[in-house]
Chain A
Amino acid sequence: MFKKLQQYDKGTRYVALVVLVILIPLAYSIVKPIFAHNDPITEVFLEKPDPSHTSCVRDTTYMRLHHWELLTKIREEVVRYGNRTIEIRDGKKEAIGLNDCRNCHTSRERFCDRCHNAVNLYPECWGCHYYP
């Protein structure tokens, strides 16, 4: 590729450099989640809640992939409409929020952070919300 670039004048090479410098992080950020999804998430040890808690609000696969959608939905309802009773489980309205997660998943470090670190995603919830 570089040999081919040498055919052009110096301006083209500089512009190519600039475009590459811009494009590489962009491409990386697009490609990263695809590979991150193939990471062996199952090998990350997540602390399961103790056996007295039988199930989460949805099944495990859904929660793994879409828990952020539920959290966003709760956030929008509470912050923007002041609506705290939200339909999260099918056909049942209940007052539920981020604070209720920690009833079962007691440790943020051993539950949220381990997986998020493994897939290289750093949401900024804990700058403001309390989760021990």
Chain B
Amino acid sequence: MEVKFESVEGRSLQYYLLLLVLALMAAAGAAVTWWASISGLWITGMTNRIPWGFQIVMAVYYIGFSEGCLVVAGLYGVFGKREYKPFVRIAVYLAMLFLIAGLLSIFTDQGRMDRVFVEPFIHFNLQSMFSINPILYLGHIVICLIFLGALFKEKEGFTRVIATLAFAWAFCVHSGTGAIFGYGARELYESPMLPATFVAAAMASGIALMIVVIVSLFKITKRQVDDGLILWLGKLMAVTITVVVYFVFVENAYRAYIVELREAAHYYLFGGFHSILFWFGLVLCGMILPMLIIFNRKTGHSVRWVIIASVLVLFGVLCERYVIVLPGLTHPPDLFPGMEITTVPGIKVDDGVVSYSISFVEVVQALGVVGVIGFLFVFGLKVLKLLPNEARVLDHHTPAS
């Protein structure tokens, strides 16, 4: 049976209200960003000890989603699972949007936003991950656009080629994003495992997002989706979570084992707010509970429980992004090993552990980015033929069996 794609009607009051709310969010974010560009980035609550804040956390979080979305697209495009064709257009469109969201987050976080579109493209520095990544990101957006075009034209052979390219490119993109931190100089950043952890967590979060988006979208637009498809995606998500568990374990075991890093590892695991996020957010909500839910025979076969697991994974991966970025900054670099440092009063840079809290401005900026891409997504549903008429398991057997 051939899948037919269509656009939503989009004339109801709720639709326009949703668009309005998203536009207002975007406007609020833009206003705050404008304020920051005029008066300086101090309004975001970042300091010279913590130069990267919540915006960078959200940027890597958004960029991570696009990997998982492309995994869902790749199920059809690369691995030839034809029953996932109904989701492929939404997946590629979302993958593109979330990369745009990540770029927006990074863009609004720069000190001189007026130069961002000029200088990095004139003065390349190929030794810097920050110079390599824009090439990867922009290439990813272009590939997603071509992918979408191929899907709209229903070109089977070309779709397969471009899907494979997009899948491989996404690996590079997300390894590169992880490498920004993994190849950094801070004690808690430096880890060759980080790009790999990043890719695995990106897959888990992206698949979780796809599950939530697909189920809610099909429910709102009163379309039929077979439970088997969602359940199998849930299983795939659980498998990627096991990989995340393994990588996170190896990374922390390494830090705890090496004598020089033991103090830093102790700070990471038992050192304050981020440790709560690590244990409660990442380990409990992001790993243990979803795996219990999905591998349990009873709850694993219920779409409702799989959605709960997906939401938990979304929260857990957000915590994972937070504990990648922030503890490495709040933990001081050891300038003089074996010495105790006291500073001149008034100079805060050499203080030991410093605290960081997410400020209101940063939350508004993050919501603004959500508003922008949410607007683009909801509007795209009306303009482009993204939604299938229905999603069915082919040949009447679940692909999981």
Which residues of A does B touch, CB under 8 Å?
10-11, 14-15
Contacts and interface: CB of A to CB of B under 8 A. Distances in A.
B384 interface: yes
A18 to B, nearest CB: 9
Those 6 A-B pairs whose CB atoms lie nearest each other, nearest first: A11-B383, A14-B383, A11-B384, A15-B383, A10-B383, A11-B7
Nearest to A11: B383
Determine which residue in B7, B383, B384 has the highest number of CB atoms from chain A within 10 A of its CB, and name it. B383
Contacts of B383: 10-11, 14-15
A30 to B, nearest CB: 15
Judged by DSSP, the binding face of A is: helix
Nearest to A14: B383
A5 to B, nearest CB: 14
Nearest to A15: B383
Nearest to B384: A11
Nearest to B115: A124
Nearest to A10: B383
B283 to A, nearest CB: 44
Contacts of A11: 7, 383-384
Interface in B362-396: 379, 383-384
Contacts of B7: 11
Contacts of A14: 379, 383
Interface string B1-23: 00000010000000000000000
A68 to B, nearest CB: 15
7 contacts: A10-B383, A11-B7, A11-B383, A11-B384, A14-B379, A14-B383, A15-B383
Interface of B: 7, 379, 383-384
A10 B379 CA distance: 12
A14 B380 CA distance: 10
Contacts of B384: 11
Nearest to B385: A11
Nearest to B379: A14
Nearest to B114: A124
Contacts of B379: 14
A11 B382 CA distance: 8
A3 to B, nearest CB: 21
A125 to B, nearest CB: 14
A122 to B, nearest CB: 11
Contacts of A10: 383
A11 B384 CA distance: 7
A37 to B, nearest CB: 22
A36 to B, nearest CB: 20
A11 B383 CA distance: 5
A16 B384 CA distance: 14
B375 to A, nearest CB: 12
Contacts of A15: 383
A10 B383 CA distance: 7
A118 B7 CA distance: 50
B40 to A, nearest CB: 12
A15 B7 CA distance: 15
A53 to B, nearest CB: 35
B148 to A, nearest CB: 13
A11 B380 CA distance: 9
B182 to A, nearest CB: 31
Nearest to B7: A11
A3 B142 CA distance: 32
A14 B19 CA distance: 15
Nearest to A124: B114
A85 B300 CA distance: 75
A10 B384 CA distance: 10
A83 B291 CA distance: 64
A10 B11 CA distance: 13
A8 to B, nearest CB: 12
B117 to A, nearest CB: 12
A67 B171 CA distance: 48
A113 to B, nearest CB: 20
A132 to B, nearest CB: 24
B401 to A, nearest CB: 40
A45 to B, nearest CB: 30
A11 B379 CA distance: 10
A65 B7 CA distance: 54
A96 to B, nearest CB: 25
B344 to A, nearest CB: 28
